[in-house]
Structure 1
Amino acid sequence: MHTLSSTQKEQLINFNQCFIEYPIITHIYSIFNDLRMNQGLGAEPQCMLLLGDTGSGKSALVNNYLLQQPSSNSSALSSLPVLHTRIPHRVNNEQTMYQLLTDLGQSPSGTRRAKRSEIALAEGVVRALKRKKTELIIINEFQELIEFSSAKERQNVANTLKYISEEARVSIVLVGMPYADIISEEPQWGSRLAWKTQIEYFSLKNDMKTYVQFLKGLANRMGYDEVPSLHNKELAIPLFSICRGELRQLKNFCSDAMLESFKQNKNTLTHDVLSATFKYKFPTKKNPFEMNVADVPIQEVESYSKYSLNAMTDDERLTATKFLDAMSLSSLLSKS
């Protein structure tokens, strides 16, 4: 097993933990801040639906936003301007309230749980939010409310969150897969979702500039004395072929390539290092780094994942993300 030096370990850790803010992220953060500011201006709480498919960077952007907030201790009296929570694994109104209380540091004991009605739980959440001076609630994995609850349960949760938002005067951000958009069809949410934003996969056809800038950001955070030229077409196009525009796949492959460079005692990511990384990870696939750039197969998203509430079987409910057939870059760019 190859042994990494302490410097190499730190280099990899720093890269794996880095976050790169690009235009859509800046826009989302601006909305977060506006939602929080509205509370102090006497405005009605608004809600936001933040969508993104697997690997688009939803969780990373939320975690980075939380890191930007002033740290506070975990005592019951400390403030919590931004509450980060999630839809619980057992999806119903009661468990949702307990999840909120737990993340507010107010988790009741098992004995007290059995004696509290849903109304009392919601009132407890409101009191805790006011006490913590919470300005924004971010609820992650919101698609699970769609997948694992009945229409009645979804309506109950929507009603309760609406009540909490109004009584505590706190805006709510619902974060989930693209099909979490189904929640906007609920009458309780339709008029309250003032903002709806989706994080798209990178696209060479629609926004090559953002992809190239993101590659430059990755390269600058790798910690090499010689910054890799990931944005050059000879590297950028094969990298896109591998990740198909998915941020997580792109970053993970670059991390693996850094490890390969350490094994080879290289002081940067070269074409050969990236090619060797692909051979190691995908030994049975054609290596895009060994192709002429004009021939590298490119796939972009045709449609994001979908969920059908009316499907007859569980297997038919969820439709995975679909990609266009592979084509050359020139064919992709000329496609209308």
Structure 2
Amino acid sequence: MKDDNFLREMNARHLWHPMGHPGEQQANAPKIIKSAAGVRITDIDGHDPVDAVGGLWCVNLGYSNDVVKQAISDQLWQLPYYSAFAGSTNPAAIEASYAVQEFFAEDGMTRVFFTSGGSDSVDTALRMARQYHRLRGEPTRTKFLSLKKGYHGTHWGGASVNGNNRFRITYEPLLPGCFHLPSPYTYRNPFGETNGALLAQKIAAAMVDEIEFQDPSTIAAFIMEPIQGAGGVIVPDASFMKHMREICDRYGILMISDEVITGFGRTGDWTGARHWGVQPDMMTIAKGITSGYFPVGGVVLGDKVAEVFEKAGPEGNIWTGYTYSAHPVGAAAVV
């Protein structure tokens, strides 16, 4: 590695940073984090603050988990990469799929499709939702519902269902057919409602109204974070997700629980949906699945969705995937 003077001189000179202005980054160079241990990070000047956020909401195990590091190291020596596209797999991927299935069994999830991260996972889940309805003979179900203040990554589909316009306006027009409901935020909401249970009822009524307005036969899925993260760490009333689940069931709409941030213990339970006693049809996962040590994400599915694909003819083929889906090193980190 180059010396510290080189790093300071080259900082932001050639690297554009996510969620930042390139010119501003050059004028006010970002902190250079050189090492980390436990819950602390150390910058190039020797400051070592507590990393309270955990990287980007992902280092759930801290920076010193030797078990995960050793698994990554061992796998690099044995099989550093191979494709998991149809026709080939690897032992680590098989073990990781079993581990994920065991982990999410309480949530009703039985299958996993591995991706490279959360944004990949959301886009894949949206695609699968559309394909699911097509396989069931309802190809008109192409629209998506989500919540204002929600965050679902930065890919085209995820940005389209995002509920914060700062991630949308610069890149519009985005995916058509995406509609947003009010956030279950008792501090600011269009109803002026401060009671969480009453707010949940009003949003549920708004959801029914939107579904009826759009025509139920055109809506594929509703996606939500069990606890909204980037929108302001918004914890809904305990009844909220149950209302959403009931409405989705009533109208034949798939429920996607975006667990990229809330999964793997970050909210005090292993998934956010478990807090509210709800089993979604699909979950999107990433971040804490490897504590951020390796980029891994996934879509986990319950039998209701999985069996439609598995029992279908050739049209059940999943025509999407990623070079690093079920990457053996990432899979080893998962296990």
- TM-score interval, normalised by the smaller of the two chains: 0.3 to 0.5
Question: Structure 2-normalised TM-score?
Answer: 0.33
Higher relative contact order (CA 8 A, sep 6+): 2
- Greater helix fraction, Structure 1 or Structure 2: 1
Bigger Rg, structure 1 or 2: 1
